[in-house]
Amino acid sequence: MLVIQALSAPRLRLHDGRRGEYVSPLRDTDHTLILRNQEMEEAGRITRRAPARVGGISVFHLRHPPQPMQVTVFGRVVGAPTNDADTLTLAGQGHAYVEGPLTTDPAVFEISDLAVGTPVDVNALEQALPFPLLPGARIWTGDALRVYLELYHLTPDEQRTAHYDLRFRLVPLDEVGEVKSSPEPVALGIQLESSSQRAQHHFDIGLAGLEIGYYRLEVDATDLVSGATRSRVTEIEIIG
């Protein structure tokens, strides 16, 4: 399954002759997801309501397409006229799906794609969020980077317990996306157990002290019983 999480926070800038300019409360938004094939022909679209009371978040669950697809998400303020300058509040283009879906073979160790963003109070948004984070690839240096992932088809030992190792690396990139020779990557490793063949976790990585710029997040997951290793990569930007 593909889970696409869209977030927008549209507000109106209003003017008052006595108090000057001020910003309105959050407004309800409709998010429309458009799928296009490799020839850029529209293959389908879905619209979801993103109420302001749950933070302007909408979630799309899709079956993994059989071929690479381009994803675009548009946000439209509810009740805004079609010629309103604030109507299209966001147009975010997703990544092409260059890899096929994960295998369903229970003998093959698998890891999900990486969901990244910032920490969120799950209790306040638990009905709206599929993962315990606010999605985003641009992270303020004062925030923590939250990473969520799932592992599938872990191999249990004789006590029916699975053991696995996770290794995280934040590798600094230059302006053209090449790895910088310095500073050294930020690395984190942890070993965990699971009572089932599936596990899900989120981890927070502090960004204080890191230089502003682009980074590649690399995650290696190893099933310590079978010895199988899978890797996932995504890019983020740390901003000041």
How high is the pLDDT of residue 126?
Answer: 62
Find all residues with CB under 8 Å of 42, minimum gap 6, and list them: 34, 35, 36
Using CA atoms, how far apart are residues 222 and 213, in angstroms rounded to an integer? 29
* CATH assignment, 2-93: 2.60.40
Q: Is the dihedral of CA 28, 63, 3, 137 positive or negative?
A: negative
In the chain, CATH 2.60.40.10 sits at: 110-239
Q: Are 225 and 167 in contact (CB under 8 A)?
A: no
How high is the pLDDT of residue 84?
Answer: 47
How high is the pLDDT of residue 237?
Answer: 92
How high is the pLDDT of residue 49?
Answer: 87
Classify domain 110-239 by CATH architecture.
Sandwich (2.60)
Block means of pLDDT (10 residues each) for the chain, length 240 residues? 77 57 70 86 89 80 81 80 49 49 89 88 67 84 91 94 94 84 79 93 88 92 95 91
| Model-wide pTM > 0.85 | no
SS3 141: coil
Buried b (16+ CB within 10 A) or exposed e, 121-149: eeeeeeebbebbbbbbeebeeebbbbbbb
How high is the pLDDT of residue 22?
Answer: 55
How high is the pLDDT of residue 17?
Answer: 55
How high is the pLDDT of residue 230?
Answer: 94
Q: Which residue type is seen at 202?
A: H
